Amino acid sequence: MRLHEYQAKQIFSKHGIKTPRGEIAETPEEVRKIAEKLGGKVVVKAQVLVGGRGKAGGIKKVDKAEEAEKVTSQLLGSLIKGHRVDRVLVEEILDIQKEYYLGYVVDKSKRMSTVIFSKVGGMDIEELASKHPGEIHKIHFDPLWGLQDYQIRKGLFKAGFSGDEFKEMFRLIRTLSDIAYKYEAELTEINPLVVTNNGFVAADARLNIDDNAIFRHPELETLRDATEVDELEREARLKGINYVRIGGDIGIIANGAGLAMTTMDLIQVMGGKPANFLDTGGGLADPIKMKACLEHVLKDGNVKVVFINIFAEITRCEKVAEGIILALDEMKRKVPLVFKLVGTNEEIGRNMLNKYAKEKGTPIYFVETIEEGAKKAVELADGV
């Protein structure tokens, strides 16, 4: 879950990291009042969850409150890289002496947490790595042990920090890593971290929370921008369904992430377009959950056919069939269903579904292999 800049700054500020004076606004009139309060010279920043806002015209510096109101009227309702601007952050313009970079990421390739910092800031980390590779410094640490003070000191000495700047960077690195640990963040970033007469200030801020950890931080769920989340994905998360909308016309239900992804790949190989990823999860099949899964997939109006791919070990096929039948009985919308149903009690499950199909006239097809199923689903979606 990505937080907006203003939300990240609120969290950083609570933990002792200085941020510019400013307020969030949703109308040009509000912006004018805030700008007047801040002395007229302000920066107006579109609050959208994309990088490169400045280059895309989403950040405007002005000298007067009237100008702030004018640029806000142009920004609100506009699109920045496909994202609609509904609010802006109005901040004082800082007297910047230096720009640094400070960030924290989870390095999955190394299975380590990593603090990244540089004496060069104000540009994307990828651009920074390309233009100034020797200026990037990293501290890798085991998340089980946490970031140790000696590691921070060693990294700062190596980067050439000294005196008051050394002390402040030490504090900021410690604070940022503590925030990342507390909120189970995948990324935290201050770019640029600027030096002013008032010390170090976070001129920009990013905080991305691991979606799988949100249940431990219910207070953060209220910060999620509903306009940035697909409605079907949001509903699925609330129901405990592992669902990702992709945009095609062939719905997928599978019991296992690997099986679901393989099914998606084969549908594409066969010339089709998957509508979604949906993993029912392992363990015993719950008819109510299977019912919810099919209902959810068919909420996507683009879906023309559903491929249900079940490899049953602990899962019992008759429970899968029971859940599907429950859904079909209640739903008005009917589409062809392709089943690869293999494993525990598969004959019972098939017989239940075959009987239902004959009685209700529901188009249900059984296949023996995943390749055959993908091909059949594509043919049905194409109307062959």
Over residues 230-271, the pLDDT tens digits come to 789 888 988 889 999 998 999 999 999 999 999 999 999 999
Amino acid 283: pLDDT: 62
Biggest CA–CA distance in the chain, Å, is 82
Q: Within 10 A of 13 (CB to CB), how many other CB atoms are there?
A: 13
162-178 b/e with 16+ CB inside 10 Å = b?
Answer: eeebbebbbebbebbbe
Q: Please give the share of the chain, as a percent, with pLDDT higher than 70.
A: 98
69, 91, 189, 322: the active-site residue: 189
365 in catalytic set? no
Residue 307 has pLDDT above 80, yes or no: yes
Catalytic residue among 100, 101, 104, 365: 101
* Whether residue 384 has pLDDT greater than 60: no
Identify the structural domains of the chain with CATH numbers, from first to last: 21-92 (3.30.1490.20), 98-221 (3.30.470.20), 230-381 (3.40.50.261)
DSSP code for 311: E
Give residue 81's pLDDT band: very low, low, confident or very high (50, 70, 90).
confident
Give dist(CA 52, CA 118) in Å, integer. Answer: 19
Helices assigned H by DSSP within 140-205: 149-159, 163-183
Using a pLDDT cut of 90, give the percent of the chain over it.
80
What pTM did the predictor assign?
0.70
Mean pLDDT, to the nearest integer, of 133-151?
A: 94
**pLDDT at res. 284:** 59
**Distance separating alpha carbons of residues 117 and 139, to the nearest angstrom:** 9
